[in-house]
Structures are given as structure tokens and as C-alpha cells.
Amino acid sequence: MHERGHLVYAASGVLAVHTQRGTSIVPANRVAWTPAGFTHQHRAHGDTDMRIVFLGPSLARLVPDRPAVFLASDLAREVLLALTAPRNYDGGAAAYSESARARLHRVLVEELREAHEQPLHLPEPRDDRLQAVARILHESPGTNATLADLGRRVGASDRTLSRLFRSELGMTFYEWRTQLRIYRALVLLAEGRDVTNVAYTCGWANPSSFIAAFTNVIGTTPGRHSHSSSRLRPVDP
């Protein structure tokens, strides 16, 4: 754990940030915030360029006191890239002054305060039966098994599982499975898979339904996301 909270941004690729509250998926158009005191792990998928910016207590008070994921504005992205560019660590380059870095940090925090939270969150189940269902879906995200089918495999009724999904995870079974499928789709796209392959691997009946679901959650089509993610690999200032 760090004494300071930190922001994580994937200039390209996809990140998964794991905390005790579950997994947040962070594609290249979002920024993840983890406050001090939260045990966490980062996992990169594909050709990922991960940038980390730490915030001291005075600035951390201005953002949520819990893990959060924000839509990254163009300005926030440029500030993140500026604060993490090699010039900040290369002794032979002209680095930003301490006052300039302080101003950039303040601009970044102000941008995040104005941004909408857009989490791609996959909460972790605690109940043994839900954990068993989650394992099945993680191993086979493309399965179209119903909740009743899965219940027979884990020894619980679909009514019980449905209640547990709502009470423990705050979403329906179908909402949770869609979040998982989108997560896996982002990982596969980051690894260079084509849209049609990803659609069928992750359980959509056809590419069109996958594109619609992906666009609804991510805000852009899978093709545009892949193109912009590869194009976003920055030339550092």
C-alpha cells in the first residue's frame, strides 16, 4: 500500500485494477483512482503503456475516498502524459519545476472533479455459490447457460442465485455477465483479435449485437476503440 493515493492511466492497451471491492477495467479512455489504504493490484493486457500519478493528501481530499474510474478528458490525458513523460526522470532533460508540477496536478484533479464517473466494475462475490458461478463464467465467458443451468451445477436455485447477485453485487446476473464479457472483449481486442472473433468468443450471437453492447458500455465501437487505442501511444513531450 502507498501513503498517497494514485491515478492509473493506460495510454494504450487495457488495465485491470483489483481491490477488495472487485475489479475495475480501465481502457485507454478512462482513468482509475485508488485512494491510500486500499490494497490493490494492476494487471496489464496487450501492449499496455501504464502511467501512474500520485496525489498527496491535500489533493486526494478533492476526489472520492473510494476507488473510482473516470472518463479521461483530452486535457486530463495530456496532463497525465506530461507528468509521466521521461523528462521528469531523465537527468539530462529539462524537467518541470516543482511549481509547474504542482499546477499540473491541480489541473488534473480539477478535470477529474468535472468528469463523470464511468466505472467498468466487476464486483467480487463472497458467497460460495456465487463464487462457483463466477469461476464458470470467467473460464467460459461465451457460455449461454441460464442461471437455472448454472444453479444446477453449483447446487442452488436460480431464485437464490438471482437474490444473491442483487444483494451482494448490486446487479442482476445478466448485468454482471455482460460486464464480464465486455472486460474479456477489451482484453482480446488489446491482444489483437478481430471483432468477429471476439464477438463469438465472448458469447454474442453475432458481431452486430456485440458492437451494440460494447458501444453502449464503452462509448465507442470495438473497431474504433482498437484503432484509437493503438493510435494513442503517445510521443512524450
Q: What does the pLDDT look like over 88-116, one tens digit per residue?
A: 665 555 677 889 999 999 999 999 999 88
77 with 34: CB under 8 angstroms? no
Burial code (b: 16+ CB inside 10 Å, e: under 16) for 132-168 equals bbbebbeeebeeebebeebbeebebeeebbbebbeee
Please tell me the pTM assigned to this model: 0.77
What residues does each domain of the chain span? 5-114, 125-229
Looking at domain 125-229, which CATH architecture does it have?
Answer: Orthogonal Bundle (1.10)
- Tell me: pLDDT of 227 over 80: no
State the average pLDDT over residues 120-144.
92
Q: Residue 212 and residue 186: Cα distance in Å, rounded?
A: 14
Whether the pLDDT of residue 2 is over 70: the answer is no
CA gap 131, 223 in Å, rounded: 33
Q: Is the pLDDT of residue 1 over 50?
A: no
CATH (residue range 5-114): 2.60.120.280
Give the pLDDT band of residue 87 (cuts 50, 70, 90).
Answer: low
Give the DSSP H/E element, type plus range, for residue 70.
strand 68-71
Residue-level length of the chain:
237
pLDDT of 172 > 90? The answer is yes
Q: What is the pLDDT of residues 176-216, one digit of tens each?
A: 999 999 999 998 998 889 999 999 999 999 999 999 999 99
Tell whether the model's pLDDT for residue 42 goes beyond 50: yes
Confidence of residue 230 (pLDDT cuts 50, 70, 90): low
